[in-house]
Structure 1
Amino acid sequence: MHPIRSLAIALAVVSVTCGGLALAHSGATGIVKQRMDAMKDIAAQMKLIGAMVKAERAYDAAAAAAAADIIVQHADAMLSLFPEGSNEHPSEALTIIWSDWDGFSRSARELSASATVLSETAVGTASAADITAPFAAVGKTCASCHEDYRKPR
C-alpha cells in the first residue's frame, strides 16, 4: 500500500476513534471500562504521533517512541481485557472475538509488533517523515481489528 494512503487510513482511524470515545464510555464499568480506557489511551497516543507526522506539532523522537511504547503495553495486555462474555452494553465488542479468538489474538500481536517497529524507528530518527510508514502500519492494524471485531459506529 502506498505510504500516503496508509497515512490517510491511520489518521482517519484516529479521528473516528477519538470522536466517539466520550459517548462510548457512558455507563461503562469493570473490565469493559478498563478496555475502553486502554483504547482511548491508544487513540491519544496515535493522535500525538499523528500530529507530528502531519507537522502540526514539532517532531520529538523521544515522545513518539514513548507514545508507541504505551501502545505496545496496551497491545500486550489486550487479550486479558476481553474475557469471554464481556460484551455487555456499552461494550462495542462483537461476539466474533471469542469464536475467532485465534484471529483476535493475531490482531493483538500485530498491533504490538507494528507499534514496536514504530517505537524503534522513532528512537533513531530526526524527522517525522521517517516514522510515517510505521505509524500508518499501526493505524492499519487498528482499523483492521475494528472492522472485524468492533460494532460499527
Structure 2
Amino acid sequence: MLFAVVVNICVAVIAGTMYVVLRKLKEVHVTIINGHYAFVIAFVSTLLWFIFRYNPQDPIQYQFDSYQYYLMLIVAVNTTVGNMTPILALKFDKASRIASVNFLLVLISYLGDVFIFGYSTHFLEIIGAAIIIGCSAVTMILKYTSKSQ
C-alpha cells in the first residue's frame, strides 16, 4: 500500500512537470509531441516488460484470451487519445488550469467501476465522489475566473 502511494506521488510530480514543459512547446504541432511521447512510452514499457518477463524470482504467467486482447486495444487507443488531449489543451490554456481537471479522473474511474464492472457503491463512496466533483468545480471556476494569464 505504501508503494502505491509513493508511485502515485511520483506520477503527480511527473505529470505536473510534463504540463510545465509542454506549455513551453506551444509552437510545436501536437502530433509531433504526441509521437515522441508515444515512442518514449513504448520504449520504456518494452524495457520494463523485458526486465519483469525474464525475472527468475517471479516469472510472469500469460493467460490472455481474445477478450483480454480486446481490452488492451481499448486501453491503447484511449491512452493515445488521452495523451493527446492535454497536449492540445496546453496550446490554449495555462498548465494549472489543465491540471485542475485531473481530479475528475478519480470520479470517472470510479463511475467506470460501478457501471462497467458492476461494483456496489457505499454511502461514503458517493459522498467522496460528490466532494471530488464539488472541489473540482470550485477549482475550475476559480482558475477560469482569475485575472492572471
TM-score (norm 1): 0.38
Q: TM-score w.r.t. structure 2 length?
A: 0.38
Higher relative contact order (CA closer than 8 Å, sequence separation 6+): 1
Structure of greater Rg = 2
